[in-house]
């Protein structure tokens, strides 16, 4: 079954594309700016284990990185029962500014997730996550690390 809901949100960050990409790929830092994300473990170059709690629904799932081109794109999809996929693109607006665009696709399962879908709560959450990411990266001198492999 394919995810049934898709949306896109974006933010412009006052940092060079390399710095922004390098920070985004520090997946274990996601809980610092993503609401509802309790933990992300990088298992290897292409596999992540997520622990989330959204509303009263706690989930643990694995995701695989399908595509990764440094400074341009990273896309992933959940493995197992969770219907979730996404793509983040990074575009240099100029040498010191980057547009980050997130496209998410998911299938709401629980009643709380279906309500979130009906009320566009997921879009608002991703928008908030992007705004927190913008503040997080703009307040730093550089990225907290770098994961630059291409897949």
Domain locations in the chain?
Answer: 5-26+67-138
The CATH classification number of 5-26+67-138 equals: 3.30.530.20
Angle of helix 111-118 relative to helix 121-138, nearest 10 degrees?
80
The whole-model pTM stands at 0.84
Distance separating alpha carbons of residues 132 and 58, to the nearest angstrom: 22
The answer to which of 2-6, 7-11, 72-76 has the lowest mean pLDDT is: 2-6
Distance separating alpha carbons of residues 103 and 58, to the nearest angstrom: 22
**pLDDT, tens digit, for every residue of 85-144?**
999 999 999 999 999 999 988 776 666 666 665 666 778 888 999 999 999 999 876 555
Distance separating alpha carbons of residues 27 and 29, to the nearest angstrom: 5
């Amino acid at each position: 079954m394919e995810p049934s809901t898709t949306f896109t949100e974006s933010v412009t960050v006052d940092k060079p594309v390399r710095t922004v990409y390098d920070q985004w790929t520090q997946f274990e830092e996601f809980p610092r700016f993503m609401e509802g994300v309790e933990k992300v473990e990088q298992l290897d170059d292409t596999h992540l284990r997520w622990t989330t709690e959204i509303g009263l629904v706690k989930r643990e799932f694995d995701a695989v990185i399908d595509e990764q081109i440094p400074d341009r794109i990273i896309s992933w999809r959940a493995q197992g029962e969770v219907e979730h996929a996404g793509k983040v693109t990074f575009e240099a607006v100029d040498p010191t500014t980057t547009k980050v665009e997130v496209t998410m696709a998911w299938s709401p399962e629980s009643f709380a997730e279906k309500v979130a879908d009906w009320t566009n709560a997921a879009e608002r959450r991703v928008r908030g996550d992007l705004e927190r990411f913008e503040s997080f990266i703009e307040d730093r001198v550089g990225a907290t690390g770098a994961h630059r492999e291409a897949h």
